[in-house]
Structure 1
Amino acid sequence: MATHDFLPGAQRSAQLSFSDQPAWIVKDEVSGGWVLQIGGVEQSHVDLEDPTHVVHEYLRRMANVLDEAWPGGQPLRIAHLGAGALTLARYVQATRPGSAQLVVEIERELPTLVTTALPMPEGTDLEVVIGDAREELVAMEGRRFDAIVLDVFSGEESPAHLATKDFYLEAISHLEVDGLLLVNVGDDAGQRFLGAQVRELEDAAAEAGLSGVWTLTLASLLTAPADGNMVLVVGGALSSPEVETWRKAWQAAGPHPGAVLDPMETATAFRR
């Protein structure tokens, strides 16, 4: 009979070679489910019983964007650049079965740790590529996605070569005409890095002929800056006449109290 160590959801760990940090899958005694910790810091939460249960607010906002921008249940082609415990990939499989998903992860040991301890939903079509997000995108010349999710940024410690207009342009070039690029940016109370990323993404959107940057976040971060995350979104889908309807749905879906800024409001909030 299999031992507890091989049961789905059992606590496991691995030493990550790129960052030289320990990664742990541990039980969440508060919210239920399981947590991925890297270097002792919580990175992701997974509910194996209900993959649509998304605890981290920025991921919930990303899920809300995907929910509205395409008809419910329609399979999508999605690239996840950095994916932690694959929380959003699990959500997409649960809500849009048949989606073709790609993960690019620089930590070689992480996908194996995550998928062994926390198996993906049955039927998940998931391609895992180990490598640098920018290098791997360049190598995918001609490949297109409905959505690209970038989840590698955390303030000034983020990879500098990814925090540029040129990288955003590379990502945008891999989108379908009606595709979306969703970027999670975490920052400290000063929000200097966040402001810089908004400007880089605005410049990339302008050069690509897109309408500008939408922002989804906790409302209080706009009036009393603190440590937190904001989701930045650009792409051809945002030119849809339905975008104001989507905006109302994103606002209503929360988490609350939330804010949804259109490109003009984003530019004002993070003016140069």
Structure 2
Amino acid sequence: MSPDRRPPARPRIVGATRPDVFPEPGRHELTGATAELLRDLDVDEGWVLLIDGVPSSYVDLEDPTRLGFEYMDWIGSVLDGLAPDGLPLDTVHLGGGACSLARYVAATRPRSRQLVLERDPRLLELARDVLGLHTGPLLRTKAREARAGLAKERDASFDVVIRDAFAGVDVPDHLLTVQFLRDAARVLRPGGTYVANLADRPPLPLARREAASALAVWPHVALISEPSVLRGRRNGNVVLVASAAPLPIDALLRRTSSGAAPARMLFDERLVGFVAGAEPYLDPEDGPGGPAPDAQPGSSSPERSTSAG
């Protein structure tokens, strides 16, 4: 520990971060990529993780409820609206990054059982050894490709599936399809919720197709983003929420519209109109119900979380 680094004076919020970590800015080699840690100059223990120059995760070592990125705040608001405060939400995270959302769930719902599936073992090591991720029986990490790892999980074993995995700035194709979403639905308990982050540009062709794919699997789907993004005026992140049970729309509207980055929601008739004419994503050459492709290490679309969960 360098002499100018001291443990924070103010009390930590209990979460999935060890109190004995003191990161330093710098680069870290991952598997086929380079990570860089930058200090947030406005927050004492805030850190930004970049992967190949792309912002991937934000971690506040003192306060894991500070998520840093707008879209992560929206996902946090979704999680807050799914169950009464403090009740556990067993969650599987597809894409690791610095495990910001896993830390958030551990801090806000400490009895939750969580699993992080991240393809790159070196990224998991960085989250654990440099950024102090505290793993154990309630928070497990596995160095596995997201779809292949999810396929190994039991039916009805989680309350929430969060997909925040990218290859560069795009979601890997095999994590978009109806067949993949059916497997996500398989591991969800009755009434469980699927949450996905994507990045899109006007006129939002990816969001339309993702929503069409989700509507082929779940009857209740909503999109959350900044109003100017949903109006097709600029690029940005879009969060998709889907479930077999009615979504808590009132709670989600209240929470996502009242944060530091107010969001708008599309659901019901407005979402159907938004999706009109969009084709769902399907696995190549198989069509509906076809087998899932085997994602191999070193393929053209290795997924990693570029913006973080």
SS at match of 1:261: strand
Matches within 5 A, 1:192-203: 192-203=205-216
SS at match of 1:64: helix
User: What residue number does 1:23 align with?
Assistant: 35
Higher helix share: 1
User: What residue number does 2:235 align with?
Assistant: 227
Distance in 2 (alpha carbons) for counterparts of 1:228 and 1:124: 36
Distance in 2 (alpha carbons) for counterparts of 1:188 and 1:46: 27
Percent identity between matched residues is 31
Distance in 2 (alpha carbons) for counterparts of 1:168 and 1:3: 47
Distance in 2 (alpha carbons) for counterparts of 1:124 and 1:13: 30
SS at match of 1:204: coil
Higher strand share: 1
Q: CA deviation at 1:187?
A: 1.8
User: What residue number does 2:271 align with?
Assistant: 266
Report the AA paired with residue 175 of structure 1: L
For the Cα contact (< 8 Å) 2:223–2:266, is it kept in 1? yes
Distance in 1 (alpha carbons) for counterparts of 2:39 and 2:244: 40
Change in 2 beyond 3 A, CA 1:178/1:106? same
Matches within 5 A, 1:100-139: 100-120=113-133, 125-139=138-152
For the Cα contact (< 8 Å) 2:49–2:55, is it kept in 1? yes
Report the AA paired with residue 244 of structure 2: G
For the Cα contact (< 8 Å) 2:70–2:261, is it kept in 1? no
1:8 corresponds to which of 22, 26, 47: 22
Q: TM-score, normalised by structure 2?
A: 0.77
Q: CA deviation at 1:129?
A: 1.0
For the Cα contact (< 8 Å) 1:98–1:123, is it kept in 2? no
Q: CA deviation at 1:266?
A: 1.6
Q: Which runs of 5+ in 1 are unaligned?
A: 206-210
User: What residue number does 2:226 align with?
Assistant: 218
Distance in 2 (alpha carbons) for counterparts of 1:143 and 1:13: 40
Q: Which runs of 5+ in 2 are unaligned?
A: 6-19, 278-309
Change in 2 beyond 3 A, CA 1:162/1:251? closer
For the Cα contact (< 8 Å) 2:220–2:244, is it kept in 1? no
Query: Greater RCO between the two (CA within 8 Å, min separation 6)?
Result: 2
SS at match of 1:173: helix
Q: TM-score, normalised by structure 1?
A: 0.87
User: What residue number does 1:50 align with?
Assistant: 63
User: What residue number does 1:164 align with?
Assistant: 177
Distance in 1 (alpha carbons) for counterparts of 2:261 and 2:48: 23
Distance in 2 (alpha carbons) for counterparts of 1:67 and 1:35: 24
Report the AA paired with residue 177 of structure 1: P
